[in-house]
Amino acid sequence: SYQSLPPLDVTENGKEYLESEGLPVYDPDGYLKDIQSSIPEIDPIIFEYLKESIRAFNRGCTMSSAIALGVASEQMILLLYESLKGALKEQSDKKELQKADDKRIFKKHCALEAMLNKKKALLPSDIKENRDVYLSSLFHLIRLYRNEFGHPTGTSVEKSVVRVFLKGFDDYLKSLYALKDFLDSKPNQL
């Protein structure tokens, strides 16, 4: 009964989608469902910017996608910063971290990272293991692209770069949410 249909070809995007594992970046609704199921407690601001990013990506708006993904990442850092403030026990540590309260996201990230390094021995091994990769490397890389395209530099972003960020964002968020959950479970104890 299908003999009357013309032959179908699978596009390059289709081949990539069929061969890839992980989040389905060419299926925005599926991507968002997968994120929500793996991180049910996802912050609504993070989710809104992630929704904007995946939809922009699929419409070929890679600069907009990179910028929105960067904003989602920055919101995660702000949440971690607040969780760490609540977990600190020593007044001197609280004061040290709070010096970044009125600062930009980069200063808050630096203060967050410095304090977590100071408290590294108190972190569980599963959180400690790849913390530097997710909290430092990936945050800075996503932030770099967000800044590059959020300012009038005239540069363009490759779709493949944003695709990689979107595919890895699930693991990035899961790792940082594990840290946040740990910090939230230790009020005034670190």
Asked if pLDDT for residue 1 goes beyond 60, the answer is: no
Which of 13-17, 47-51, 96-100, 162-166 ranks highest by mean pLDDT? Answer: 47-51
Residues in the chain: 190
pTM over 0.95: no
Asked if pLDDT for residue 99 goes beyond 60, the answer is: yes
Higher pLDDT, 127 or 95: 95
**Measured between alpha carbons, how far is 38 from 143 in angstroms, rounded to an integer?**
23
Asked if pLDDT for residue 24 goes beyond 90, the answer is: no
Residue 128 is predicted with a pLDDT of 79
In whole numbers, what is the pLDDT of the chain averaged over residues?
A: 86
**Measured between alpha carbons, how far is 53 from 72 in angstroms, rounded to an integer?**
9
Q: How many CB atoms within 10 Å of residue 20?
A: 13
**Measured between alpha carbons, how far is 81 from 69 in angstroms, rounded to an integer?**
19
Residue range 159-168, pLDDT digits in tens: 888 898 899 8
